[in-house]
Structure 1
Amino acid sequence: MEVKKKPEEEENELVSELKRQLENEHLTPVEKLRLLNDGLNNALNSAAVHVNSGELARLKSQLYLSGVLIHCIHVLSLHPSSLWGDLSAAATLAHLTSSCCVGVEPGPHSETFHRLFLPSVVDALLSLAAQLVNRAENVSLFRKVMDSVGWLLAAHTHLTEKVLSSIHYEQIQVCDDVNVSLLCVQMWIQTCTANSDFLSGLSDDSILLLLNEAIGQLALSSDSTVGGASVRLILLMASQLGRCLRPLLLSFRGLDSLLHKDWRGRGFDRGIDQLIALIQSEKNVVSQSQGSSEHVRAACVIQAAWRSYKTRRRVKSLNRAVSVLQRKYRARRKEQQQQKEAQLWEEELKYQVCVRRQQARRRFHQKQRQLLQLLPADQVQTYLQECENRAAVVIQSFWRGFRERRHYSSTQRHMLRRERAVRTLQRGVRRFLQKRRAAKVPPLPPFWIGQKGLTDSRRAELNRQVDEYIATHQSFRVSPEECSCLHEEVQLLLLSVLQTGAQQRMEEQRVEALLAHVHTQLELLRDAPPLSVVTETDADTFLSPSGPVAARARDAHNAILQASRLPWWRMLGDTDAGHVNPLGSTHVPELEEELGGLYIGGTVADKKQTQVDEVKL
């Protein structure tokens, strides 16, 4: 039979499990946000089911003391980009956090809870609301966050000054959106309505700041809903504070004239009349106390009208400048306050850390002393020696792990650098080999009708295929006679092109022959003896053409002999009219380089050169 657990045990288990899950360092902000929403919702629902109202307060206190609410503050303080835009879940977490802060019984930690923790909660909620201001699609989420702030203010009145002087609330006030201004005013109205003692617990400075915000909305906004809400807020403050508010209203000179000229006929004239009557009655009391002279009263009316006119014109013309000055001043003042609060919070955290460390150290030493007392006297030294060895092993393992990780990281960097160098070298070698292979590939021969290897039988076969294609695919637009004429014209053009190409080749051959002849004559002149030792035989050699012919024949014979000594694989060259070239067309430049630019016989070029020499001689 299972024993039913008590509500306190179930709540303790829920809070412990939630705290254990939040202490996981691998959680992302989004996962932590969802975990907090689910955990707080389940815990609050389980506590709300019980009839005893003290269970809910006990659960909230345990959430604060365990540090779960501090995790909520950290998550709400993050930027929306780190939450992947899940602003709906953030608004839900803000609502749950404000609910957990209402009705908490911190006990001995009451001063820390009210002085440090609650201001940090308000600052996180206002920071989230300020981030939702410029997003038009998040008006409902902004309303939800502001309702959470109002609920927190209704339970903890001393946070009002913190809200009104917050830099995030100033960013919200600067926004020109009508919905944002209306929601801010409605938040104060709901707060004052929910707690009738809210305004009575505020200081004069806080009441003046709240009144300044309501009148500022009347002076800057032109929307009727915002104006009506501001008037309702002032009347609500007047009904709760009584005569304490009237002297503060007189500090805003020209308010009655502003209400009468700018806000009449907007649908809330009754409230405007009540507010003007309240201001006028206080003015009458003040004027009667100062004197009942008609001249003094008239002067006051004229001065009030003139000053209100000047104030309205100055506000309209310098609205932006005044807002900038106020924003800078409040930002500087709030920055100083935040620095002080951060310093206090840091000191408090340092103190708590030191205390917890001392307590843990004390518990550890007490446990060790108890264990030593249980051991026999002859085993104490052995136990201490074993503890020292175990500690030495732990220290050595940590040190060796650190050293190996550092060595491994340096080795990895060296290996990556070496692999990068190897890849670079391989890339360069492959590119070089690819270029070499592409250079060795022989060029493709030109594919045209007069190319080498087209025989008469092949030409007749091609003509037959052309005639069959023409007979099969007859054209209905061109007659056969026109096709034959066009074919003849094409053949004539082709013949002219071929003849022109043959003439160009003959001209190129002639130029090459002349160059070869000149080259031979230059070689003979370079090898000729000087004129001082020349003989008649040498002179006849230069005057007779037989000498150059014999020299060229000798060089050609020597070249053929050298080619015959080459390996068999270098003899696999091109053929020309049944005659095998012993040198091969690809090795001619190499032999010319080896023989010093001499004439190589046995090729097509030397036949052309021989013909030219015969003509010249």
Structure 2
Amino acid sequence: MEEEAVSELRRQLQNEDLTPEQKVNLLNSSLNKALSSAAVQTHSSVLTGVKSQLYHSGVLRHCVHALSLHPRRPQGHWSAIATLAQLTSSCCIGVDAGRRSETFHRLFLPSVMDAVLSVASQLMRRKEFVSLFRKVMDSVGWLLSAHTQLTAQVLSSVHYEQIQMCDDARVSLLCIQLWTQLCGASRDFLAGLSDDSVLLLLNEAVGQLALSSDSAVGGASLKLMLLMATQLGLRLRPLLHSFRGLDCLLDKDWRGRGFDQEVDQLIALVQSEPSEVSTERVQAACVIQAAWRSHQTRRRVKSLNRAVSALQRRYRARRRQQQQQKEAQLWEEELKYQVCVRRQQARRKFHQRQRHLLQLLPADQVQSYLQECERRAAVVIQSFWRGFRERRRYNDTLQHTLRHAHTRQQAAGTLQRAVRRFLQKRRAAKSPPIPPFWIGQEGLTDSQRAELKSQVEEYITARPSLCVSSEECERLHEEVQLLLLAELQRGVQHRREEQRVEALLAHTHTQLELLRDAPPLSVVTETDADSFLSPSGPIAARARDAHNAMLQAGRLPWWRMLEETEPGDLHLPALEAEFGGLYVGGPAAVGGKL
């Protein structure tokens, strides 16, 4: 019955229409059904027979192929892949390979372990699949417990090295717990390993102690190392002495974490005296390392040729790209030239056709046609001129806004400086006055100060002034005080005059801005008109003259409004002299200057 089920499964797997996902689901369901039905049998040989049939029929090879597919799988497919890895590992335990026993142990089992480790490394990169990663690592543990010879392959595998370099503490803890369970389940596990495998296992535990800061990972690593020391005994001590500084690392980083007793035991084990055998092992390790480093250096030197080839390939690709860009630029220039030539030819053909049409027209219609062409040309020119004038007006308005904002910022800065200066003066006025320089000086007593004063008076008495008498000095002092007072009064009057001039200028600028921003006559109201009226007779007369000038400018032909006219053409010499070229007749006056 089991043989028929296995044959049917093999036949279904050979169907090329099945997708990889469908094959994985088929293998999971079939293997689970076969193993479950064989496990409930009384004789254990039935389960062994089913596993052997799965191997000899090639179903397990299909499982290994499905596990070794490209890592780009759908997110929901990872659970089926983890289940398949678990079932494949279970099927590889207790298989009777018969005559193909050597092939099974030397080729097939390493391929199964490599595929399972590949799945584990892919799940390790996805932190949300920790439970699936634990399931796959349990499968690795089952295989190692049944086939100890695979330990060296696992420890030296590229996929397992990627798992070791993971920064997730949960992944590191699962790896350490795997080896702890294997060592604790059987005392023969470590005894069957070579020294190189034991050294790799020790290297992993010490690496976790050096790189990880998680207490659970550190405790598991210490437990694993002590378990290895208990089972291996003197065989482990020479290997431990190759890790220099391990005792300092344990004492510095792992004390006070809740497992100080284990730390003390491991430190004592590391600090024990090495034997002669360990010294020989260290020398042998140095020779091996030197040979390996020389091999790496030679291989790196050989790889320089590939680097040179890659550099040349990139240079040629770069040069080819530059040549393509240059050709594309030449094509673009040629296209522009062809476009210009075709436009010129089209323009020439248009003028020739227009001349031909003029020749076909009657003589009495030529003048009207030319006038129509002139009118259309004038419309085009006027539209362009009005657009240019509006854009320039918009730019002037924008510049005025920016200038006004800059003026406001400068005014704010001036006010702030004045306020700061005023506050500084008020604080200086409130502070106590500074005593004279000669008061309170150390080193002069009252008697010395009186003696100096008497010497000064004697000097002044002995050497009186020969030019000016004391009465003349007093008179000069009074004159100087009067001149100073008059100068101060003139300064006050000058400041008042400057303030008055500044007020008049501000008033004038405000009126000019109002005149410039005045609305057009089509939308003006009586209130707006009253705001521009002035009680002054001269101002009203000048406004009337400006209005007349505007009317005269409006009667001019359109072509006169396009050219730059002089102020004298509008008969406004008085206004031009008064306002320095400012014409207030309105926006319709083309000859006005701002």
* TM-score, structure 1 as length reference: 0.45
* TM-score, structure 2 as length reference: 0.47
